[in-house]
Amino acid sequence: MKLKYTLVALGMVAFGASSAVASTLDDVKAHGMLKCGISTGVPGFAFTDENGNWQGFDPAICQAVAAAVLGDSSKVEYTPTTGKTRFTTLASGEIDMLARNTTWTFSRDVDLKFTFAGVNYYDGQGFLVPSSLGVSSAKDLNGSSVCIQTGTTTELNLAEYFRLNNVSYEPVPIETNEEARANYMAGRCDVYTTDASGLAASRSTFENPSEHVILPEIISKEPLGPLVRHGDDQWADIVRWVLNVLIIADEKGVTGAQAQEVAAGPDPELDRILGTEGAYGAMLGLDRDWAVRALNANGNYGEIFAKYIGEETLVGLARGLNAQWTQGGILYAPPFR
């Protein structure tokens, strides 16, 4: 079962197969593939297309990194991980980076020794209930059964929120999003709780999405983003700046297709990013065109958002908090200079 990964990880620790010493960039180049951990499937965020290839909001980050580092966005080896296996998989060196709706928290950053490369989705925990229950607030949920994905921050938020509000409940722990959905549909639980984006994504796959409502309470801050192991700052920088480049391009309105054209344009920041001014790629240990390739992979942040989870898609999420800081959101990438 899921324990397998943990045991593999422990085995690797015991047999001295840790790769934490060598440079991750060299490892990836030598291997010719980027090993990327993703979720086991959340509509819009990570799913397999008709050809069996992983697509979605999270794999798009992996693809952009692969394009920047290896020159080919398809050179990614995906490892689906559950909420429970993800950290051991990353810590043991089985994957090079994790792009899987993972919340940036103190203990993950400090105690588990991971480096968060940034935030690609600002989320918060919400509740999904059948509208037939007639519930309008999370505080009305006293005595209900709640499906939770185990091993996530939502589990702890929920316990805390309900304890503070004197709401008693029966937790029904679940491994994956799919199982949670199945149990919720079968009526094993009244409520499904996870990040609001995940709820919207799940609801989009229901037969009658309109028969389910997401309650108004958002009970936590969930900044989701890609992460890497501590100890290799160069690699962390690469992932961080690939993400930042996608965000800056969105801010400047440069689409992936235009990246080549504007490379020698009048905007000096874009010139620096796209390699026509200075040698910023070399500082990262990459070549000159890394950012152009990263943008070509799936387009800029806004394009990725619109393509997989935006309002035009079944998931139907508005940009909300994830709009650029210039447009009322909090998406704000540091300057590229």
Partner 1 sequence: MISLWRSRQARSVLFQVLAMAGLVGLVTFFGIQVVANLKVMGLSFSFAFLDFPAGYDINQTLITYDSTNTHLRALFVGLLNTALVAFFGIIVATVVGFLIGVMRLSKNFLISRIAVVYIELIRNIPVLLHILLIYGLVVNVLPHPKQALDIGFDSFLTNRGLFMPKPIFEDGASLMFYGLLLGLGLAWGFTYYAKRVQAETGKIYPVFAICTSVILLLPVLGYFLAGQPITMEISVFKTFNFHGGIVVRPEFLALWLALSMYTAAFIAEIVRGGILAVSYGQTEAAHALGIRPNRTLQLVVIPQALRVIIPPLTSQYLNLTKNSSLAIAIGYMDLVSTIGGITLNQTGRAMECMLILLSIYLMFSLLISLFMNWYNNHIKLIER
Please give the residue ranges that form the binding site for partner 1 (CB under 8 A): 1-3, 6-7, 9-10, 13-16, 18, 20-21, 83-84, 87-88, 91, 107-108, 111-113, 133, 141-145, 150-151, 155-156, 158-160, 162-163, 169-175, 183, 186-188, 190, 229-231
CA distance 272 to 258: 16
The least CB distance from residue 19 to partner 1, in Å, is 10
Helical ranges in the chain per DSSP H: 3-15, 24-31, 57-70, 86-91, 106-110, 153-164, 177-186, 196-204, 233-251, 259-262, 268-274, 280-283, 290-298, 301-308
- Reported as type and span, the H/E element at residue 227 is strand 227-229
The least CB distance from residue 158 to partner 1, in Å, is 8
The least CB distance from residue 255 to partner 1, in Å, is 39
The least CB distance from residue 95 to partner 1, in Å, is 14
Instruction: Rank residues 186 and 312 by Cβ distance to partner 1 and give the closer one.
Output: 186
Instruction: Rank residues 93 and 281 by Cβ distance to partner 1 and give the closer one.
Output: 93
Instruction: Rank residues 231 and 253 by Cβ distance to partner 1 and give the closer one.
Output: 231
Instruction: Rank residues 233 and 261 by Cβ distance to partner 1 and give the closer one.
Output: 233
CA distance 63 to 70: 10
| Dihedral of alpha carbons 72, 44, 256, 62, sign | negative
List the one residue out of 157, 176, 181 whose CA is nearest residue 167. Answer: 157
The least CB distance from residue 44 to partner 1, in Å, is 25
Instruction: Rank residues 160 and 261 by Cβ distance to partner 1 and give the closer one.
Output: 160
